[in-house]
Structure 1
Amino acid sequence: MSEKGCIKCGHTEAKTKEIATSGTGLSKLFDVQHNHFTVVYCTNCGYSELYNKQSSKAGNIVDLFFG
């Protein structure tokens, strides 16, 4: 069984951060940040993936990131 890790460098440690972004149209004009994401990133090379925060939990997302 092969060990899984970052798809870019193979490193096996990741961390998460939360970010919020504005959308388009009026939300962009008024800087309303209603889009929330969990960012999972490799601690070695910085490769990152965004996941819609409403759809998953951080622990499960890290598992997804590493396959």
Structure 2
Amino acid sequence: MQQLVKSKQACPKCGNKEFVMGEVYMAGSKAAKVFNIQNRKFTTFTCSRCSYTEFYQVPMSNALNVLDFFIG
């Protein structure tokens, strides 16, 4: 789910103050990649003008990892 966010902070590339906030899941280790387990979650902030993106890691629960493994 993505949403437009207005911020007091400015984009370091172009100075814009509007960002699109989203989420992305990634595999961290080789074993996680082999078994398709996305064990790292990041919140993303993408500048609505120049598309510069920053990633911030969010802790994930082990239960979510197991559920993701079985559901795929």
Q: Give the structure-1-normalised TM-score.
A: 0.70
Alpha-carbon deviation of 1:29? Answer: 0.7
Tell me which of the two structures has the higher relative contact order, counting C-alpha pairs closer than 8 angstroms and 6 or more residues apart.
1
The residue aligned with 1:21 is 26
Q: Which runs of 4+ in 1 moved over 6 A?
A: none
Structure whose alpha-carbon radius of gyration is higher: 2
The answer for the alignment partner of 1:39 in structure 2 is 44
Instruction: Give the gaps of 5 or more residues in structure 1.
Output: 55-67
Aligned-residue identity in percent: 33
Q: CA RMSD in A?
A: 1.5
**Letter of the aligned partner of 1:51 in structure 2?**
Y
Report the structure, 1 or 2, having the larger strand content.
2
* Partner residue, 1:52: 57
TM-score w.r.t. the length of structure 2 is 0.65
Gap regions ≥5 residues in structure 2: 1-7, 60-72
Rounded to whole Å, the distance in 2 between the matches of 1:33 and 1:49 is 19
Query: 2:64 maps to which residue?
Result: none
